[in-house]
Structure 1
Amino acid sequence: MGRISFFFLVLLFVAFTAAIYNTARFIAASDSTLGGGEEEFDFNPGGKKKLFHTVVTSSSGSYARWQCRIMYYWFKKFKDQPGSEMGGFTRILHSGAPDDLMDEIPTFVADPLPSGLDKGYIVLHRPWAFVQWLRNATIEEEYVVLLFFVLLENFGYLFRSYIFMAEPDHLITKPLPNLASRLRPAAFPFFYITPEKYEREVGKFFKGPVQAVDPVGNSPAIIHKAQLLRIAPTWHNLSIQMKQDPETDKAFGWVLEMYAYAIASAVHGVKHTLRKDFMIQPPWDTSLGDKYIIHYTYGCDYTLEGVLTYGKVGEWRFDKRSFTAGAPPRNLTLPPANVPGSVAMLVKMINQATADIPNWKAGE
């Protein structure tokens, strides 16, 4: 056996030491605050795309089904276009049983909460669905990068995976890049998520300063998997605890689960980059601008002259709640000429999707 040269041993020692240093640096940044550190060590070899996996939670009812089909249609339209860092897609179906969309939309079946625990608040199933998916699913964008440079550089195994949490009533309007970094998720700031206004309720579940709670929900948000793995169980547990607390339930109402996500993030020291350019919400936002998503949660009611009559059924209207029992028909009537462009674009995008999606049937 030949003798190993002293110079080779020195090279091996230097490389090994550098690897330990950088791996420790990576783990320390990942496992400490995961959102509060000053240094942004966001490794991205060769400027490769930071692909993220899009996830939508859904019940099995018709109302959620038709929205998911339209959402997935627009996801596919923009997935592979220039500027996109959109990877795979999963619909988490929290009914506990497969449905007939399994072959159309990639789907993970999660168990629902025990009967009665949601108290009629179906959104409470969302955090529990994410917990199950994170524990059991394989995320195709998760990859391992091996870096090896003999002397002046270093090597180490770095894992990367990002998750985009979306909703069935989101329409993606253009290629979506990864707006997050490893330490800072990106999320939309909601005007109605106001932790400071509910300091008493927040203080029951988070002992830090109320200013540490971001005005966000879980969606839309792009987040590193390592962060969501920590947040999701807390988000789930807090949602249940908050729903069972009458004072908190009354204060937070239909956005209780959003507050639970925001508080859970604060519990784990995660701060979000607030991106107002993430989405618009017609009819209040009248133009798309440079936004990435149309969120059609509000009803759009107008006179034939294009005057908004919010709170009163208009002569022309589009409201997703008009189709709770089944899908809307193809070729919805377009809004009057003076209605804002955001509303017109919303209806046109729905019409295009329903025209192209095979076997689209009104009422199903």
Structure 2
Amino acid sequence: MSSSPKSLDSSSALELLFSPGDKRKGRKRKILLKSIEKTVQISISFLVALLCFYGIYRAIDDTHPETLAKIPKFGSSGGGGGGHFLQLRHDDDEVPMSSGSSARKRFSGKSSRLVDSLANDLSRAKTALTDAKIHERAIEVELMETRARERSIYQEAETLKSKLIGATRDQVEDVVEDVDELLRDWEFELGDPVEMEHASPPPSEAMVKHEEAKEEGMGKKVKVGEKASELTAAEREQQSKTGAGSSGSSSDRSRSSTSSGDSSSSRSGGGSSSSSSSNNNVLADDASLGTCEAHEHTEYWGAVVLNGDNHKTEDAGKCCDACRNLNRASGNRCNVWVYNPNSKACWLKFEKNIKEMKPANSGAGVPWVAGKFTDLKPPKPPQHPPATGKRYEDMPRCLHGVMTSSGNAYMNWQSRIMYQTWQNHASQPGSIMKAFTRVLHKGRDDELMVEIPTMRFEPIQTHCDSWCDYPVADRSSAIARWSQTSDSETCSHIVMLETDHVIVKSPPESILLPPGQAYGFEFTYINVNHPTMRSHFSEEYGDKSKGIIPRTGNSPTVITAEDLRKVAPKWAEFVARTEQPENVKKSLGWLRDMYAYDLAAFVSGIKHTFYGAGKPESIMAQPPADEELGGAFILHYTWGPEIYDVDGTTMLWKFDKRAYGGGQYQRGPYKLVKLEDPPPWKEGLKLQTFFAPRAISENKHALIAMLITEINAAIDKLPRVPKGHDSLEEAQMWASN
């Protein structure tokens, strides 16, 4: 066989290529040409690749020489100084290279390690940036907590000033007045007109009553406690025997107490007169509480005051007494009791129409023993000093917070937190927040009369003391009556608040607008041209000279005390008119109170300036619906935020006021438990599906965290038992469910 062209020497190959016209050698010539072409292509490709790697190497060497310094070096077989696999010479750009496939493999390995090194550096840089952001957020939280502690110190200082140990009330007042006078003199010498302008106004009527309520109320309760303690064990045993049966009425028990009291007097020697007098007082007090009528095999309706599942007594007589005791000191909290002899459950209730009430169930098969008090004397309605007619210019320039409430247990735990946040920020130097009043529209006092400065007004809807579907309907009437009292003249301006508001800072003086103007919050869901309002109040809407109807509602609104006296009566009138007919009430729904206020402001000619959430001029934000705090000093937690992980289905955290403390219908006063902090922010967290979009921005998360921080700071300062009560049981007697 003929030899392959690859085995030819150079002279034979040249002869083969250039031999003319030899057909026998034509096939070998073609094979040789193809071999040469392939070799040239491989050489060109290698040169191109080598030039590309050289360009990359030069770029790295110019910009990141420290990276190349990390690459291990290698040299020749002699152990002397080696060099990089490419030794760059910038003077003549010569590139000595190792030859063969070994050099190419080393070059490829070094390039791969170089890319990995750059990727690792980038990853470490991203991790460091993330850690820095987390650290920054931790610093912000710590700063917020520091500010809260600072506010706490200010508050404690104010409290200590009013608690001079061993001093009488007059001495305390003298010292406080002296301190305030020294502070005013000091401010005058410094020439600070702003601080002089915000000098504390005289204490409001609610504040004065708040200070006096504990002494008066506790006096009554001590008196009752002394009466109860004077009953000897023998008397209690005798009363128990007398009232053990279902027919043991309270009148029988009173008579047995009389005979026992007489025998006790004969044994007590020199103290008999005092003991007899005390027992007579007990009997007189019992007589004023009404007569208990007991009925076997009977069950009565009534709003629950104490749940019998958690309230047991030995017999029906003691169940009756438990109901009677709730009516001491004009409490009038119980007029129906229902007792089960088998389970010992004693249910205490209150029924408005007690004289017309008929049994819910009766007959031999009914195991209950029930009784009712039909002759309880209603407590006297509260009386408040009337307004003196002060004008705007006659009042101190400051802000008076007014919070309305129906006094149920659900609203009262919110009220305690709200008032505490007000105190936290009102204690800041230069604050314009100088007075606070809770306007309570309820038929009787509740457990917070001492802890929060309160003025009570009789409700229009008396059944709301137990339960009603729209307690807000009493708000306008209560505010209207309060605006006619001297307490409303404490400050030049009023801010109307709600129980689920939280104060996060002291507002600027710029919100105190002159008479004829008010400052509010824009609720975008208010339709100022609501067809039902236009048709039902056609005469009022027809007056175009009054300006534009605001989209605010009454709360939060900052208004002068003088202007509130004009708006509030109209507001109460319009609320009453939205209750009838039924189609108007149904069309306006829960917003009818807000629509009525806006129309009253319009008719009264009070121009409202209002801004939505997140703006520098805004006064309120509502997490989690809003993104920014803006200029707000109030947070409103009407919506309950739920935070989900990035998958949108795994709930990480939630807060809903309607579920706090076990729900809205628990026995008060609620135990105030600090809320869990929301999880740290990260990209991808989501809210519940109610909100669209669901994504939680970093600013929105910070707003939620601020709300929880303020609530917890308030809870830290609030005792388990509201101020003015010696025990939880005593506070529970004054609370209503």
TM over 0.5: yes
SS at match of 2:487: coil
Match of 2:560 among 216, 224, 229: 224
- Report the Cα distance in structure 2 between the residues aligned to 1:306 and 1:122, rounded to whole angstroms: 40
Equivalent residue number for residue 355 of structure 1: 716
Code of the residue aligned with 1:131 in structure 2: it is A
Flag the 1:71–1:110 CA change in 2: closer, same or farther, 3 A: same
From 388, 392, 403, give the equivalent of 1:56: 403
The residue that corresponds to 1:106 in the other structure is: 453
Pairing 1:317–2:654 present: yes
Alpha-carbon offset, residue 57 of structure 1 = 0.5
Gaps of 5+ in 2: 1-390, 613-617, 682-695, 723-727
**Equivalent residue, structure 2, for 1:298:** 639
- Per the alignment, residue 533 of structure 2 pairs with 201
Distance 2:403 2:647 in 1: 33
1:25-64 equivalences in 2 (<5 Å): 50-64=397-411
Give deviations 1:154-173, integer Å, cap 9, x for gaps: xxxxxxx2211111111111
**In 2, Cα distance between equivalents of 1:139 and 1:128:** 15
Read off the aligned partner of 1:224 and give its amino acid letter. T
- Structure 2 distance, partners of 1:140, 1:314, is 49
Work out whether residues 330 and 355 of structure 1, in 8 Å CA contact, stay in contact via their aligned partners in 2.
no
The structure number with the bigger radius of gyration is 2
Shift of 1:188: 0.6
- Specify which of 702, 707, 720 is matched with residue 346 of structure 1: 707
CA offset digits 1:55-113 (Å, max 9, x no partner): 00011211111111111111111113245211210001111322221111100011101
Q: 1:127 aligns with which of 476, 479, 483?
A: 476
Given that 1:195 and 1:213 are in contact with CA atoms closer than 8 Å, whether structure 2 keeps it comes out as yes
Residue in structure 1 matched with residue 674 of structure 2 by the alignment: 331
Deviation by residue 1:287-309 (Cα, 9 ceiling, x = unmatched): 323321100011111214596x8
Task: Give the direction of change, closer, same or farther, for the CA distance of 1:208–1:246 in structure 2 (3 Å limit).
Answer: farther
Q: What SS class does the counterpart of residue 139 from structure 1 fall into?
A: helix
- Report what 1:72 is aligned to: 419
Deviation at 1:49, TM superposition (A): 6.9
1:167 aligned residue: 498
Superposed CA deviations along residues 197-222 of structure 1, whole A, max 9, x for unmatched, are: x1442342222349721101000011
Structure 1 residues 171, 102: CA separation in 2 closer, same or farther (over 3 Å shift)? same
1:133-159 CA deviation, whole Å, 9 max, x = no partner?
1223423635xxxxxxxxxxxxxxxxx
The correspondence for 1:138, drawn from 470, 481, 487, is: 487
> d(CA) in 2 for partners of 1:199 and 1:269?
22
1:87 matched to 2:428? The reply is no
- The percentage of counterpart residues that share the same residue type is 34
Runs (5+) with no aligned partner, structure 1:
1-41, 143-160
Q: 1:306 to 1:131 in 2, by over 3 A?
A: farther
Alignment of 1:258-269 (within 5 A): 258-269=594-605
The answer on whether the counterparts of 2:400 and 2:493 sit within 8 Å (CA) in structure 1 is yes
Structure richer in helix, relative to its length: 2
How far residue 43 of structure 1 moved from its aligned partner, in angstroms, is 8.4
Give the TM-score taking structure 2 as reference length: 0.38
Q: Distance in 1 between matches of 2:468 and 2:602?
A: 26
Does the Cα contact within 8 Å between 1:304 and 1:336 map onto a contact in 2?
A: no
* One-letter code aligned to 2:448: L
Any conservation in 1 of the 2:621–2:634 contact (CA below 8 Å)? yes
Closer/same/farther in 2, CA of residues 341 and 200 from structure 1, 3 Å limit: same
Which is worse superposed, 283-292 or 60-69? 283-292
Two-structure CA RMSD over aligned residues (Å): 3.0
- Which runs of structure 2 are paired with 1:234-245 in the superposition (5 Å)? 234-245=570-581
Is the CA contact (8 Å cut-off) linking 1:306 and 1:337 kept in structure 2?
no
1:264-303 mapped onto 2 (5 Å cutoff): 264-276=600-612, 277-303=618-644
Q: Does the Cα contact within 8 Å between 1:94 and 1:109 map onto a contact in 2?
A: yes
Residue number in structure 1 paired with 2:337: none
| 1:203–1:227 Cα change, 3 Å | farther
Instruction: Report the AA paired with residue 475 of structure 2.
Output: R
* Corresponding residue number in structure 2 for 1:182: 515
Aligned positions of 1:13-32 closer than 5 A: none
The higher-RCO structure (CA 8 Å, 6+ apart) is: 1
Q: Is the 8 A contact 2:392 2:561 kept in 1?
A: no
CA distance in 2, matches of 1:219, 1:89: 15
1:257 equivalent among 581, 589, 593: 593
